[in-house]
Amino acid sequence: MGAGKTGLADEVGSRLGRPVQDVDGILEAVTGRSIPALFRERGEHEFRREEEELAAALLRGQPEPHVFALGGGAVTSQVVRDALRDRAITVWLDVDVDTAWERVRGSDRPLAQDEAQFRRLYEERRPIYEEVADALARDAEDAVLAAAGVSIARGALERLGELVPGDGPVALVSEPHVLGIHGAVAQVALGARLVSVHELPTGEEAKTVAAVERLWHELRLPRGGTVVALGGGALTDAAGFAAATFLRGVAWVSVPSSLVGQVDAGIGGKTAIDLPEGKNLVGAFHWPIRTVVDPSLLATLPEHERREGLAEVVKTGLLAGEPLWELPDAELVRRCAAFKAAVCLRDPREAGERAILNLGHTFAHALEAAAGYSGVTHGRAVALGLLAALRLSGRSTSVVEEVLAPRPVRVDRERAWAALGRDKKTGLVLLGEDGPRWGVRLPEEDVRRELDALIED
């Protein structure tokens, strides 16, 4: 009681684009009685019975995802706990007892009339909440991340074994530099479940047909096995694609080690490899069963790699309308990851709104392809792409220039223009006064002018 579940459920439902159902509210509507009246007229035992029947029926009867707000005592029922285990991701919105009491004191809540009794009830229920909860939340961002299967915590790599769902065999896929720094910790954490370790090249070289084909040949997992991908954004793209296609699809866990991976590439289930004709042209939607983000891994990043990821942070901040790039690392990662997770849950297969995450990327991919995926890094290309997108949107480019300071690249103009034309996305993503727009068509001469401005003479 007093944790703020109903308000949070409304906010989470809005962010995920899902219907919200408050069990207490429905019970009041069905019975025509307020919760205090139900307690007075029928007693707590009868109230719990009706609450149990309604909550279990709602949880088991919804064909589409919903957000439910459960009363504080609902999970004291084993029937409800079983339904939650089978049908839901359960998020515990935890508050301290003093805060909870201050919120409910003086109200007509039946179990909040006596402070001593309230505090006893708080202590009695906590072990049940701990048992049933899949995740702990303090705000909507945490709840969204839980819905997306994203765990963010310092020291998470050391707990990797307990965070990888299931009990089947695990193949660890990483890249040489990351494996040298973090590989031992990951292998110890995975313990006896680890059956093999594999390396992919660093950067975009991981996203070639040859590199992924070699990984296919090396993997010996059964269909019930799990690929754990530890590395930067290119590594998780490639390993996730290998998992999506090996044995027609095995489970995988994304463990992004770079800033670009933790705020963007390692989240959302899009996996892909590159072709000479363009970036990410062969891929699959294959959502990881868990994404494990350990912000402490960022401490080992060289400054140039951090700047690579900062381009995606600025992109996310522009989309969200907030200066997320100004936050400390751990909060920056959490907020950016939650923003992307919410967009992806609303549009998991990029049928519409998810296209906004490509802000600046049509130009970026063209520059990368024109460079043959060497010599122009993804972060630099995205920073330049953001300049073009903002100019075409009639918006100021000052944030990009001040935070990222991108300089034009030396690539073949005609090759870049041809690559932009082959990009798989339809139209451009621009920023309007009322937020991002996607699928925007502009005159070719305007688009070509902005592309040319990104290329060094």
Q: What is the set of active-site residues?
A: 248, 270, 312, 340, 350, 354, 358, 361, 365, 378
Beta bridge partners of 253: 228, 290
> What is the distance between the terminal CA atoms of the chain, rounded to a whole angstrom?
65
Nearest to 152 by CA among 329, 3, 301, 295: 295
Cβ atoms of residues 280 and 264 within 8 Å: no
Taking each helix axis from N to C terminus, what angle separates 78-87 and 35-61, rounded to the nearest 10 degrees? 40
**Rounded distance between C-alpha atoms, residue 306 and residue 120, angstroms:** 48
**Rounded distance between C-alpha atoms, residue 36 and residue 278, angstroms:** 63
Mind giving me the DSSP string for 322-341?
Answer: S-GGGS-HHHHHHHHHHHHH
For 403-415, b/e burial (b = at least 16 CB within 10 A) is bbebeebebeeee
User: What is the three-class DSSP state of 96?
Assistant: coil
Beta bridge partners of 147: none
Nearest to 364 by CA among 451, 456, 439: 451
User: What is the number of residues in the chain?
Assistant: 457
Helices marked H in 5-76: 5-16, 23-31, 35-61
User: What is the three-class DSSP state of 258?
Assistant: coil
Classify strands 428-432 and 290-293 as parallel, antiparallel or unpaired. Answer: unpaired
**Rounded distance between C-alpha atoms, residue 400 and residue 369, angstroms:** 22
User: Which amino acid belongs to residue 149?
Assistant: G
